[in-house]
A and B are shown apart, each in its own frame.
Chain A
Amino acid sequence: MTSKKQRMIVYGVAIHLLLVAIVCYAAFPVQEPEEPIRLMYQVDAGNVLFDHQGHASGTGYGLACNDCHHSHPEGEDLEPVACFFCHKAKPENKEPIPETCLDCHEDESELEDSEIPKRSDAFHKQCTECHEEFGKGPKSGSDYCSMCHVL
C-alpha cells in the first residue's frame, strides 16, 4: 500500500516529464538534413543502408555530387535531387511528376534514353559500376546480394 502523498509525488513527476517530452518533441523534431547522412532503402530483397555522408565527405570517399547524381550542362546551377524523385520503385507506380525525362529535359538529344529506369535498375547500375571501377567494396552479381542487402 502506498500513501496519498507518494501518489501525488508520482503524478507530479509524470506531469513534469510529459511537459519536457512535449517541449522536446515540438521544439526539437528530428530534421532531415539538407544533405543526407545515411539512407535506408527499403526493398523486398532486403534493406540497404547507404552511407551517403561516407561516400560524399572528404573524410570518406570524397565523391563529387555529379559522380552519382545526374550531371547538368555547365552554367546550370542545380542542386542534386533525391534519386526517388524520378526513379520510382516500380514502373507501374504512376506519379504525377516526372513521368519521363522529357518532363524536365526539353532537348531529347542530350538524353541517352527518355525512359526513366526503375529504382532498382538505376541503383544497381550506379553502385556496381562504381564499385567495379574502383575495385573496392561489395562485389556485384547474383551470388553477392547479401553484400549490400540485409537479408
Chain B
Amino acid sequence: MISQKKFVVSHAPFWHNGSGVPERHFNAIIATAPAVLMGLGYFGISAVAALCLSVATAIGWEWLFCLISKRESTVADGQAILIGLIFGMLLPATAPWWLVVTGTFLAIVVGKQLFGGIGATPFHPAVLSVAILTASWKMYMDIDAQLVNLNFDFTPYHPLVAAKAFGSQAISDISICDLMIGKQIGGIGTTCGLALILGGVYLILRGYVRWQIPVSFIAGLCITAALFHLANPEKYAGPIFHLFAGYTLFAAFFLITDDSSSPVNHIPMLIYGALGGVITMLIRNVGTDADGIIFAVLLINICNPLIDKIRPKAVGKVA
C-alpha cells in the first residue's frame, strides 16, 4: 500500500521580519530613549539612580538565575535589560534602592524565569512586578507621596488622582500641552506623551510592534472616556486628558505590545487592545485605582490565550 503523505502545517500566521531576538529588544530600548531622557530631565539625579539600579539589578538577577539553574546566561538577548528599563520607567523617581532591587527580582525571577523564561511569560514581567509592589508597599508606589520633596515648575500632583478624587474641575488648570511634553507627575519615563509616541511610531515602522494593538487600545480608551465624559462632564475628564495622563501611552506602545503576552492574529489583536482601553477607563472611572493601567494590562494578559483562539480559517479541508 502506498503511504499517503500529508502536508502538515501548524497554526498560522507566521511572521518574520528578518531580525533576531536581541535586535527586537535593543530596538525597543532605543525607542524608550526619548521618553527616558525627558524623564531624567524633569526628575533629575534621583531618577538616574533608580533607572540605573533597575537595569543593573535586572541583569544581575537574570545572570544569577541562569547560574543557579545551570543554564547558559541569557543576559545578552537584551530582554532582562528591557524589563529592567521598563520597570524603572514605571517607578517614581525617588524610589528607594530596596524597592528597585525587590521589583527587579519580582520581574525577572518571578515574572519571567519561573514562568519559563523568554517567550513563555503570560504576564508582562515588569507590570506584574509593579502590581505586586503596589499591593505590598502602596505608599512607596504612590507617585504623589513619593515626590513630595521634589520641586516642580508645573502642577505638583498626579493628574489622574486629582481627576478621580475631585472631578474635572481639579484638572482644569492642567493644559494638554503640558501633559504632552511631560510636565506632569508620574513614573520616570512615562510622562512625556510626544516622546512615547515617537518611540512607539519607531517600533511600528520597524515592524517590532503591530499597529493593531496600540491603535485599538487608544481607540478603546478614548471612546470609553468620551462616553463617560458625555454622561457627566463635571465628574469625568475627557478622552484627550486620559490619553496623555498617567501610564496610558507608555502602556499602548511598551506594555501591552509585549511579545509573549499579546495575541498574534489580526482580529484578536484588535479585540485585545480595545479591551485593554475599555478596562483601563472602567478602573479609572469606576474602580479604585487612579491610573488603572497596571491592572488592566494584567487582566488582558489573562484574556490573551482565549482571545487568540480566534484564528483565520485554515486553508484546505478535512479529508
Contact = CB atoms under 8 A, between A and B. Distances in A.
A and B assemble together: yes
Interface of A: 1-3, 6-7, 9-11, 13-15, 17-18, 20-22, 24-25, 28, 30-33, 36-40, 42, 46-47, 49, 51, 53, 146-147, 149-151
**Best-buried of B45, B55, B56 by chain A (most CB within 10 Å):** B56
Contacts of A10: 59, 75-76, 81
Contacts of B17: none
Nearest to B147: A38
Interface string B51-83: 011011101100100000000111111000100
A147 B166 contact: yes
A6 B73 CA distance: 11
B52 A24 contact: yes
Given A17-B55, A24-B49, A46-B165, 4 more contacts: A2-B77, A21-B49, A40-B139, A49-B148
Interface of B: 22, 45-46, 48-50, 52-53, 55-57, 59-60, 63, 72-77, 81, 94, 97, 139, 142, 144-145, 147-151, 156-157, 161, 164-166
A16 B253 CA distance: 28
B149 A49 contact: no
Given A3-B76, A10-B81, A21-B56, A37 B46 contact: no
Contacts of A46: 165
Contact of A151 (B97, B142, B147, B165): B165
B210 to A, nearest CB: 26
Contacts of A17: 52-53, 55-56
Given A21-B52, A25-B53, A2 B149 contact: no
A39 B146 CA distance: 10
A66 B168 CA distance: 34
Contact of B53 (A9, A21, A37): A21
A18 B166 contact: no
Contacts of A24: 45-46, 48-49, 52
B75 A11 contact: yes
A18 B165 contact: no
Nearest to A52: B148
Given A6-B76, A42-B139, A147-B166, A47 B48 contact: no
